[in-house]
Structure 1
Amino acid sequence: MSGRVIEGVSVEWENVRQCFSLDPAVVHLNHGSSGAVPVPAQRAQQRLRDEMEADPPRFYAVGLVDRIAHTRRHLAGFLGADPDGSALVGNTTIGTALVLGSLDARTGDEIVTTEHGYGAVRLAVDALCARSGAVHRTVPLPPAPTDDEVVAAVTGAVTGRTRLVIIDQIASPTARLFPVARITSALRPAGVPVLVDAAHVPGQLPVSVSELGADFWVGNLHKWAYAPRGTALFAVAPAWRERIRPLVVSWEQESGFPARVESQGTLDYTPWLAAPTALFTLRTLGVEAVREHNARLAEYGQRVVAAALGVEPPAGAPGLAMRVVPLPSGLATDLASASALRRRIADELGFEVAVNPYRGQGLLRLSAQVYNQASDYERLAERLPGFLASLS
């Protein structure tokens, strides 16, 4: 491909690592957790910060609502979502909080999630249930369920009291791709609303949000779509849009959804406004080329690390840039020990990875991004077995 210069940075495969400001002393194999913002998007955001600080009253008072709406239309178009039925929010956890806060849950109502769900979402549901008297029903699933098993388990957990089903499109701890379109279709006749937690979808997989049929869909653009952190799209079906209550009531309250959700006073909106530059960077590299590179490299990384540990990894879905490798028995069996092991791998070996427990089994989650190469995973495969053996 011929290179492009964006914000003074040459963006092309030959020097793609130079598009990121990551510490070269660390091997970054955990893009899925916090992402990494390309330098062009960093510079675009800094230019916006400079504009904001040069005249703060003008930045917030003159045209900001229209600028946010323009950005929203751009991001919604990339994701196949209705721009008039979508709002920009900080992350998927905030989108989940907006849904939960708009449910009017009561004693005896039920909210259904799965064991693969994200920890912060689980905590949010538990907090709502503690306040309202509702019941949190967690659907048990094996670490690597089939699509049929997922659909049967989730639909089988729904009762006449179910007020909401929350399903991951890509599960964070296990890197499983769930059949969300089948689930929304199966639950539609019962009138049970579905919230799709798509934190890892934008940029990693092609998606048409409107075609999924979910009542709510929220995905982060600051992971695989290169946007500055604090950028997510929250899409809402028409029947729910005017029922969504903002977490903070501010000046656009009377404007209705989505402006009443997006307007939060002197919030720093520069991550949102810089997000189109991030997407332009992704498109300049080539969206499909990036996805293919990342998926193939993640599969390779999983294979070589699993072989080094002498374990059989679960098959990953085609196209995913995250894969998991089971850790030896007794390691990372709970959240605290998983967090401690991740930190030791980073501090003592120099590799940033994700470590999560699932049913008492530690899972090493590896991500792949354009700044990675095969040797990153080969070096981890060389060093990790001896390190883990020393811990046990």
Structure 2
Amino acid sequence: MNLPQPPEPIPGAKALFSLDFDVAHLNHGSLGAVPHPVQHARRLLMDEAERDPRAFAAQVVTRLRLAREAVCPLVGAPAELTAFTTNTTTGVALALRSMDLSEGDEVLTTDHGYPSIDFNIAAQVRRLGVVHKTVPVPLTPTDTQVVEAVLSGLTPRTRLVVLDQITSATARVFPVAEVARQLRGRGVALLVDGAHVPGHLPVDVAAIGADFWIGNLHKWAYSPRGTALVSVSEDWRDRMWPLVESYGHEAGFPTAVEFHGTDGYTGWIAAPVGPAVLEQLGVERVQLHNAQLAAYGQAVIAKALNVETVDDEGQGRLGMRLIPLPDGLVTTQADAEALWQRIRRNLGVEVAVTCWNGRGFLRVAANVYNRPAEYDRLADGLSGLLAV
């Protein structure tokens, strides 16, 4: 197997991070990493809040609006139709609550979906008698196969389709704009789970045309953890209800969703510093670097394990890649958790181990602080580790 050429490091980029580099951090997709300038901006805001809590609180709503207006261009979302939330899961809960679902209404997902999204749908099943339908999609589907799978699952009772833009466990790119186009006029809402998208791939939320789009800024856009965006179409603006009714309620969306009285807002207000760091490094430069380094990591690990990689045409743009594990090694989520702990403990490597439909995979990610030697380290250690 010929290995792809890894990219040259971006000068100075690694020094932006506080990570313990005794550990090889090859799992940026899970929790991201917060650069020093973003940490510093948040600390200044925390200090300001402690110097005069009441004065700081009086400015929160205005500063949240300004922060939203600063970050929304990164994803092409209208600021007036977008709110900060803590993560994609919370955004899904907001959308489900606002849809006013009732007994027999169907929510459709694919088998590539994220577990916590299913947890929230399951809560609607228990409380309201909603029906959750899951359609299978191949591991390496074409865009046509994804669209056909979604359309095949629709019935007259389908109210909502939830579709990943980038899947988490399987690292696939799904054609969300085409699904939105196909659903238009059918009376079926589309919620796009864009958890891995901001800063990772170019995106124009308004052009996608989904009813709800939700994405994390704390993964690939370098914002503080607990920072995400939920963006809605104009049709849903006046129907979005917060999970907690508080002093911002009468202002309507987005303030009603964002403002919860004495909550902590410093991460959201500091959020624009993350995309600013990304912009200073060069968005396209970073994305190309990450895609090339992830491809190298995937290839060197697959070669060490003597396995074939699982790719599709959309994979080449991503900064995270999938490597199948030997058959039978990981067949449950508990197996995945156990292997993750062994790799972390014995090899000093942080990497995602996923289980999808009874099959085990490594999901390696790459960012500007990573180096080829870290993937070599994982590749060199895996053969012996898995033979134990």
What band does the TM-score fall into relative to the shorter chain? over 0.9
- The 5 A counterparts of 1:110-121 are 110-121=106-117
Match of 2:229 among 216, 220, 233: 233
C-alpha distance in structure 1 between counterparts of 2:102 and 2:277, whole Å: 46
- Contact persistence 1:253–1:260 (CA under 8 A): yes
SS at match of 2:271: helix
C-alpha distance in structure 1 between counterparts of 2:121 and 2:278, whole Å: 34
SS at match of 1:70: helix
Match of 2:45 among 40, 45, 48: 48
Structure 2 residue 294 is the aligned partner of structure 1 residue 294: no
Match of 1:215 among 176, 198, 211: 211
Report the CA distance between 1:77 and its aligned residue: 1.6
Q: Give the letter for the 1:142 counterpart.
A: P
Structure 2 residue 259 is the aligned partner of structure 1 residue 263: yes
Q: Give the letter for the 1:104 counterpart.
A: D
Matched residue, 1:19: 16
Report the CA distance between 1:13 and its aligned residue: 3.1
C-alpha distance in structure 1 between counterparts of 2:17 and 2:262, whole Å: 29
Match of 2:379 among 374, 378, 381: 381
C-alpha distance in structure 2 between counterparts of 1:75 and 1:14, whole Å: 25
- The 5 A counterparts of 1:70-81 are 70-81=66-77
- Contact persistence 2:159–2:187 (CA under 8 A): no
Report the CA distance between 1:17 and its aligned residue: 1.1
Match of 1:361 among 356, 359, 362: 359
SS at match of 1:364: strand
> Which deviations, in whole Å up to 9, do the C-alpha atoms of 1:310-332 show, x marking residues without a partner?
11111152210010100111222
Report the CA distance between 1:282 and its aligned residue: 0.7
Matched residue, 1:342: 340
- The 5 A counterparts of 1:301-320 are 301-316=297-312, 317-320=315-318
- Contact persistence 2:17–2:35 (CA under 8 A): yes
Report the CA distance between 1:386 and its aligned residue: 1.3
C-alpha distance in structure 2 between counterparts of 1:237 and 1:54, whole Å: 39
Q: What are the ranges of 5 or more consecutive residues in structure 1 without an aligned counterpart?
A: 1-11
Worse overlay, 378-387 or 284-293:
378-387
Q: Give the letter for the 1:346 counterpart.
A: R
C-alpha distance in structure 1 between counterparts of 2:21 and 2:307, whole Å: 30
- Contact persistence 1:92–1:197 (CA under 8 A): yes
Matched residue, 2:189: 193
Report the CA distance between 1:127 and its aligned residue: 1.3
Structure 2 residue 349 is the aligned partner of structure 1 residue 351: yes
C-alpha distance in structure 1 between counterparts of 2:336 and 2:127, whole Å: 30
C-alpha distance in structure 1 between counterparts of 2:334 and 2:93, whole Å: 25
% identical equivalent positions: 52
SS at match of 1:239: helix
C-alpha distance in structure 1 between counterparts of 2:149 and 2:244, whole Å: 36
- Contact persistence 1:75–1:233 (CA under 8 A): no
C-alpha distance in structure 1 between counterparts of 2:328 and 2:49, whole Å: 51
C-alpha distance in structure 2 between counterparts of 1:59 and 1:66, whole Å: 11
- Contact persistence 1:147–1:178 (CA under 8 A): yes
- Contact persistence 2:74–2:199 (CA under 8 A): no
C-alpha distance in structure 1 between counterparts of 2:55 and 2:286, whole Å: 39
Structure 2 residue 134 is the aligned partner of structure 1 residue 138: yes
- The 5 A counterparts of 1:27-176 are 27-61=24-58, 63-176=59-172
Worse overlay, 253-262 or 338-347:
338-347
Q: Where do 4+ consecutive residues of structure 1 move more than 4 Å?
A: none
- Contact persistence 1:35–1:226 (CA under 8 A): yes
SS at match of 1:15: coil
- Contact persistence 2:106–2:131 (CA under 8 A): yes
Q: Give the letter for the 1:123 counterpart.
A: F
| TM-score normalised according to structure 1 size | 0.95
Report the CA distance between 1:14 and its aligned residue: 2.1
Report the CA distance between 1:15 and its aligned residue: 2.2
> Which deviations, in whole Å up to 9, do the C-alpha atoms of 1:136-184 show, x marking residues without a partner?
0001122211111110000110111001000000000000000000100
Q: What are the ranges of 5 or more consecutive residues in structure 2 without an aligned counterpart?
A: 1-8
Q: Give the letter for the 2:65 counterpart.
A: A
Matched residue, 1:6: none
Report the CA distance between 1:268 and its aligned residue: 1.1
